[in-house]
Amino acid sequence: MINISVNGDFILAGFSDQPWLEKILFPVVLISYLLTLVGNTVIILISSIDPKLKTPMYFFLTHLSLVDICFTTSIVPQLLWNLKGPAKTITFLGCVIQLYVSLALGSTECVLLAVMAFDRYAAVCKPLSYTTVMNPQLCHALAGVAWVSGLGNSAIQGTITLWLPRCGRLWLYHFFCEVPSMIKLACVDIHANEIQLFIASLILLLLPLGLILLSYGHITRAVLRIKSSRAWHKALGTCGSHLMVVSLFYGTITAVYIQPNSSYAHNHGKFISLFYTVVTPMLNPLIYTLRNKDVKAALGRLFHRGLRT
């Protein structure tokens, strides 16, 4: 049934070779998507409404939540449609839009997580000059760099990928249009494209990750010098949520983009991608909410305000 493509539509094979798994994944993905929308929308609302959350940390967290909402929305509705019905196709235009949008937002999140690590470095290592260092102008500039980097990477990588001749090959062994799986459709030598993908991954994955590790190296040194146990726990609390998000996101996405042709990425790529496209965006608001007293207090104030009205 899914061997036939109409009007040049791409075939997203996804999990079609495991029908029993599709039946399990549909409710799981649907619930995860709804939780992603609700959780990240709540964070955007409370960060915008509550005056006590008008800080650089929550400014960047708002951008992260917006990225997660848009990122999952560019992928999950099509995934749900393919999991539920017999048709496993996506139009050429739909595939192009999905490729550009998901790549732009995924790249933006990589840089944004590095920016958030710098913010935590400034908060812990430069507490007296934190408000001066992380002034509104710098915060907007750093957020702008993250978005522009993502859009630029998407424009370059996406266009190069779509220019590759496919000679009628339309079968994608994936559940969405992603660069590593798209370049495998090419009917020409793709060694140069794999090198280009590797270099882009170094810049937008490993470079931000290196900056994150550098920031947390300085944070660790500063924390070890703290004598007060209360201040020590506060420093860990302010960084713990971000570290968990970084570990979840980078721990999965690097496996797909750094070595796209490895046997591990080939055999488990769909499941790894499922984790960073569906699970991680759902967990981000839960991590920041459950581990953050400021967010829980803001939710309480918002709830009581709603009861009074």
CA–CA–CA angle 221, 64, 81 (5° rounding): 135
Q: What is the pLDDT of residues 40-55, one digit of tens each?
A: 998 898 888 887 888 8
The confidence score (pLDDT) of residue 2 equals 41
pTM for the complete prediction? 0.87
CA–CA–CA angle 89, 13, 69 (5° rounding): 70
**3-class state of residue 90 by DSSP:** strand
Q: What CATH number was assigned to the domain covering residues 10-303?
A: 1.20.1070.10
CA distances from 301 to 51, 62, 307 (A): 11, 18, 10
The residue ranges of DSSP E strands in the chain, in sequence order, are: 10-12, 89-90, 171-172
- The residue ranges of every structural domain in the chain are 10-303
Report, as ranges of residue numbers, the positions in the chain whose pLDDT lies below 70: 1-7, 227-232, 234-238, 259-268, 290-292, 302-309
Q: How many whole angstroms from its chain centre is CA 197? A: 18
Q: What is the pLDDT of residues 263-307, one digit of tens each?
A: 445 556 788 889 889 999 998 888 877 666 777 777 777 666 666
